[in-house]
Amino acid sequence: MPRHADASDGDPSSDQPADQPLQADGCRAGDLWWLLLEVANLSRRLTERQLAPIHTTPDQIHALRVLALHGSMTVGELAAALGLEQNSGSQLVERLTQRGLVTRGRAPRDRRQSLVSVSAAGQALLDAGEPDAAALAAELFSELPPESIAQSITLLRAIRANAGRRVLRRVQIADGEGGGQLTVRRLAHHAARVLHEAPGG
């Protein structure tokens, strides 16, 4: 059954007034960045508890959801889509494979590449887990008007796109220095490290 958020899951800065203004304009981008990280940490904790009864994790449900949306993907493509290092993506796929939640096959155009797809068991787990995640989201967003949610989606997509371009620039620089070509593998390898840096890093 879905769990409900309680006071123990709250914002550690809840002692501060809810309407406390942000710092000076020059610091607003930094304030937003750290707020995003705090929300990410809290939302992960809540999602882990929400999914515990069906013995899965946010990473696994997220990976299954991405695969279900995009179809078969290489490990590198999946890792890049999730913002993970190549090794972390490989480990996640291995755990999913061991549980029978994904299947592997060869790419028709390049037999050297392995493609990952959601299995029937993986789809069943996704069908069981997504309503729990949706129930949590509905609870947390219940006091927000639909237009605010729509605006937030637009904002977060823009931030994600900017972060993706930053990752791409970093990989292009690294590949240029090494004389190599830009590949999904290199993009996945650098993505998590760059995305976890502060904006001015």
Tens digits of residue pLDDT in 61-84: 999 999 999 989 999 889 888 878
What is the percent of the chain where pLDDT is above 70? Answer: 68
Task: Examine the pLDDT at 125 and tell me if it is beyond 90.
Answer: yes
Whole-model pTM: value is: 0.66
Domain 26-195's class? mainly alpha
Using DSSP, state whether 14 is helix, strand or coil: coil
Average pLDDT, the chain: 78
Q: What pLDDT, on a 0 to 100 scale, did the predictor assign at position 174?
A: 58
Task: Examine the pLDDT at 166 and tell me if it is beyond 90.
Answer: no
Rounded to whole angstroms, what are the CA distances from 59 to 18, 56, 82, 121, 123?
Answer: 31, 8, 9, 16, 15
Ranking 21-30, 52-61, 86-95 by mean pLDDT, the lowest is 21-30
Task: Examine the pLDDT at 145 and tell me if it is beyond 60.
Answer: yes
Quote the distance between the C-alpha of residue 158 and its chain's center.
15
